[in-house]
Amino acid sequence: MKLLAVTVSIGAAMLVMTTATSYAAGGDAIFKKSCASCHYTDGPAKEKTIADQLAKKGPELWYAGSKFQKAWLGAWLQDPKPIRALKYNSLTDKNKGDHPKSSAADAAALTDYLMGLTSPEVKAGVIKAAATPQAKQIFNKKMPCGGCHATEKGGGLSGPSLVGAAKRLNPDWIYAYLANIKHFKPVRDMPDFGSVLNPKDLEAVAAYVATFE
């Protein structure tokens, strides 16, 4: 009896282990089959020239686990609504909203896989969402952020919409991205603000973007 219990518990432990690994491998395998033609997941950043960036069919996802909030990702993969107003890498065509949809089970496996892809550049637990007057002034008046990004109040079209950033993006990633954009995106049509704004202002702006509903 005792032996049986031990065997069963070892068996159960092994089962947990194998399901855990095969679960992750499942997301990995689905990704290779259905997603890798448009997204790369092996960092660091590969783009060296404008042509490299323009050749991509979708955003890089090698730091997806640092960038996105898990709940948002799982839901979005099942019902992907446009994030960018324009077609990826186009300044003329509209985003048709034709991103592939995943089933609930695939979305869960893919989410586990993608949330495991993180960047050590992102320090956890530093930025807390907050709309300070100082940050509002920077985002809306002193800096051109709104010229390229839409918020609830409207704005530019060339950058990803920041509507819903509060639920979509990890606040700590927003800060890391603004402070060290070259690590994530060596080639992109957003200016590098890492040396334009001081660290305090960068933190404040990141915290502000993290409040956008």
- State the binding partner of 102 from ligand HEC, another protein, none, CB within 5 to 8 A by kind: ligand HEC
Q: Which amino acid is at 42?
A: D
Residue 95 interacting entry, from ligand HEC, another protein, none, C-beta within 5 to 8 Å by type:
ligand HEC
* β partners of residue 151: 154
- Distance, CA of 48 to CA of 68 (rounded, Å): 24
Q: How many CB atoms lie within 10 A of CB 96?
A: 8
Near another protein by CB under 8 A: residue from 75, 86, 108, 130: 86
- What is the rounded CA–CA span in Å between residue 136 and residue 143? 10
Q: Quick one: DSSP state of residue 150?
A: E
Nearest CB to ligand HEC, comparing residues 15 and 53: 53
Alpha carbon of residue 208 to chain centroid: 17
Whether residue 61 contacts residue 39, with contact meaning beta carbons closer than 8 Å, is answered with yes
User: Any idea what DSSP says for residue 91?
Assistant: S
Minimum Å gap between C-beta 144 and ligand HEC is: 4
Count of alpha carbons within 13 angstroms of residue 89, beta-carbon side:
13
Torsion of CA 196, 56, 78, 162, to 10 degrees: 20
Interface map 31-50 toward another protein (x if CB under 8 A): -----------xxx-x-xxx
Q: Which does 164 bind (CB under 5 to 8 A by kind): another protein, ligand HEC, none?
A: none
* CA-CA-CA-CA dihedral for 96, 30, 108, 127, to nearest 10: -70
2 binds, among another protein, ligand HEC, none (CB under 5 to 8 A by kind): none
Q: Which stretch binds ligand HEC (CB under 6 A): 6-14, 16-24, 36-44, 119-127?
A: 36-44
Give yes or no for residue 117 binding ligand HEC (CB under 6 A): no
Considering the rule CB under 6 A, would residue 164 count as an interface residue with ligand HEC? no
- Is 159 a binder of ligand HEC (CB under 6 A)? yes
Binding residue for another protein (CB under 8 A) from 21, 142, 152, 199? Answer: 142
**Binding piece for another protein, criterion CB under 8 A, among 16-24, 70-78, 161-169, 186-194:** 186-194
Which two three-digit tokens encode residue 142? 């002193």
Based on the shown chain and the rule CB under 6 A, indicate whether residue 207 belongs to the binding site for ligand HEC. no
For residues 121 to 140, the per-residue mask of contacts with another protein, x marking binding by CB under 8 A and - elsewhere, is: --------------------
